[in-house]
């Protein structure tokens, strides 16, 4: 019995040793390529992989950045999910923002890119800059603060009073009833970013001969061209855009802090990201903040997997 087990172990080790030798030969044969990609891989390992793993480990500890982390097991997660009422508000707001801005911004990015792609080159370049500019505007929040200012000088209040819809100014950014919807509006306005550019690039690279072949095969209108030719041809850009839009919709924080304050009135603008910032950079409860970050990370991963499965069915 013992001899048969040893023979089985040797038979398993032999293929493994052979695979290692083949891998090492492959690395030596392509060493120039590995050297070229090494800076990125090292940076990714140091600044992405290690922080994520460290955050997951710290989420099981009580750590205040001054003392040695104290292992507490699942206590941070139990407190987050069962005892933290503010976190419940943050989850509700984050899901509301994600389920509204995520799909809408994704569709807006693609539809605008599709329409702009049909225009002449000068007009296409101009409109691309116009729609992309808000996502890189540093002082964009100042414009929205002027629009939704709570006095008579705010553009929204001024126009609504002039038109007779209201009699006195509305406290847009101080009333919990309006805060979350203003955050959603501004997030949508800022959402035409990298995904928008990726879609335009994908549309530019679609092989035009496929449309001629499609016409021969029986495609009769532009919608059929879109579903059976355009979308399948730019599936990588669609996946990339989905990842970017999901990430941005789940990680809304700066918009809320700039418009509604930190913390906002009655936590009306609280999101999971601002909850994490509160505990991580204000209270220095790094274990609790890491647990929050881990849950947000898992939610993003799950949503990305679901969306990728849906996108793979495009054109079928």
The radius of gyration of the chain's CA atoms, rounded to the nearest angstrom, is 26
pLDDT at 114: 87
Q: What is the pLDDT of residue 2?
A: 47
If one compares 190 and 315, the residue with the highest pLDDT of the two is: 190
Nearest by Cα to 56 from 299, 301, 298: 298
| Chain mean pLDDT for the chain | 85
Average pLDDT for 46-69: 91
Which pair of structure tokens corresponds to residue 115? 């329409």
Q: Please write the tens of the pLDDT for every residue from 204-252.
A: 888 888 888 888 878 878 888 888 888 888 888 888 888 888 888 898 8
| 154, pLDDT greater than 50 | yes
pTM of the model: 0.82
Give the integer Cα–Cα distance in Å for 293 and 272: 8
pLDDT tens sequence across 201-214 = 888 888 888 888 88
Rounded average pLDDT over 107-119: 87
Question: Is it true that the peptide bond before 216 is cis, omega within 30 degrees of 0?
Answer: no
Instruction: Provide the pLDDT for residue 198.
Output: 87
- Are 172 and 154 a contacting pair, CB within 8 Å? yes
> What integer pLDDT is reported at residue 295 of this predicted model?
93
Using H for helix, E for strand and C for coil, what is the string for 180-205? Answer: HHHHHHHHHHCCCCHHHHHHHHHHHC
- 315 contacts 231 by C-beta, under 8 angstroms: yes
Confidence of residue 10 (pLDDT cuts 50, 70, 90): low
Residue 58: band (very low, low, confident or very high) from pLDDT cuts 50, 70, 90:
very high
Q: What is the mean pLDDT of the segment spanning 71-98?
A: 92
pLDDT at residue 76 in the model: 93
Residues 6+ apart with CB under 8 A from 92: none
Burial of 10 (0-12, 13-18, 19+ CB in 10 A): exposed
Q: What is the pLDDT of residue 190?
A: 83
pLDDT for the residue numbered 315: 58
Q: What pLDDT band is residue 14 in, cutting at 50, 70 and 90?
A: low
DSSP state of 1: -
pLDDT for residue 1 is more than 70: no
Question: Looking at the DSSP assignment, which residues form a beta bridge with residue 71?
Answer: 61
Tell me how far apart the alpha carbons of residues 35 and 53 are, in angstroms, rounded to a whole number. Answer: 25
- What angle, 0 to 180 degrees and rounded to 10, lies between the N-to-C axes of helices 140-147 and 176-189? 140
Is 150 buried (19+), middle (13-18) or exposed (0-12) by CB count in 10 A? middle
The percent of residues in the chain predicted with pLDDT above 70, rounded, is 94
Q: Which residue has the higher pLDDT, 143 or 60?
A: 60
Report pLDDT for 6: 52
Q: What is the predicted pLDDT for the residue at 139?
A: 63
Between 85 and 26, residue with greater pLDDT: 85
Question: CB within 8 A of 243, min separation 6: which ones?
Answer: 304
Of the candidate ranges 129-133, 139-143, 252-256, 261-265, the one whose mean pLDDT is the lowest: 139-143
Whether 75 has a pLDDT exceeding 50, the answer reads yes
């Amino acid at each position: 019995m013992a001899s048969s087990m040893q023979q089985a172990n040797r038979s398993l080790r032999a293929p493994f040793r052979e695979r290692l030798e083949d891998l090492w030969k492959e690395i030596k044969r392509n060493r120039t390529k590995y050297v070229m990609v090494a800076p990125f891989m090292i940076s990714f390992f140091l600044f992405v992989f290690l922080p994520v793993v460290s955050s997951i480990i710290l989420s099981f500890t009580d750590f205040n950045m001054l003392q040695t982390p104290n292992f507490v097991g699942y206590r941070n997660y139990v407190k987050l999910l069962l005892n933290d009422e503010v976190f419940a508000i943050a989850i509700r707001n984050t899901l509301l923002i994600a389920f509204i801005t995520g799909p809408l911004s994704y569709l807006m990015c693609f539809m605008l890119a599709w329409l702009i792609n049909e225009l002449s080159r000068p007009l296409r370049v101009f409109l691309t800059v116009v729609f992309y500019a808000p996502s890189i505007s540093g002082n964009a929040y100042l414009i929205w603060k002027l629009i939704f200012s709570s006095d008579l000088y705010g553009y929204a209040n001024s126009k609504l009073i002039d038109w007779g819809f209201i009699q006195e100014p509305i406290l847009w950014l101080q009333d919990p009833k309006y805060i979350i919807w203003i955050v959603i509006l501004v997030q949508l306005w800022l959402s035409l970013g990298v995904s928008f550019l990726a879609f335009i690039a994908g549309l530019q690279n679609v092989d035009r001969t496929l449309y001629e072949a499609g016409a021969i095969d029986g495609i009769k209108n532009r919608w059929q061209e879109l579903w059976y030719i355009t979308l399948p041809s730019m599936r990588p850009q669609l996946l990339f855009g989905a990842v970017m839009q999901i990430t941005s919709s789940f990680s809304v924080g700066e918009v809320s802090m700039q418009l509604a304050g930190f913390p906002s009135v009655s936590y009306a603008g609280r999101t999971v990201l601002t909850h994490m910032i509160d505990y991580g950079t204000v209270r220095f409860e790094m274990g609790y903040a890491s647990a929050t970050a881990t849950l947000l990370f898992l939610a993003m991963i799950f949503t990305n997997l679901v969306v990728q499965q849906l996108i793979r069915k495009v054109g079928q």
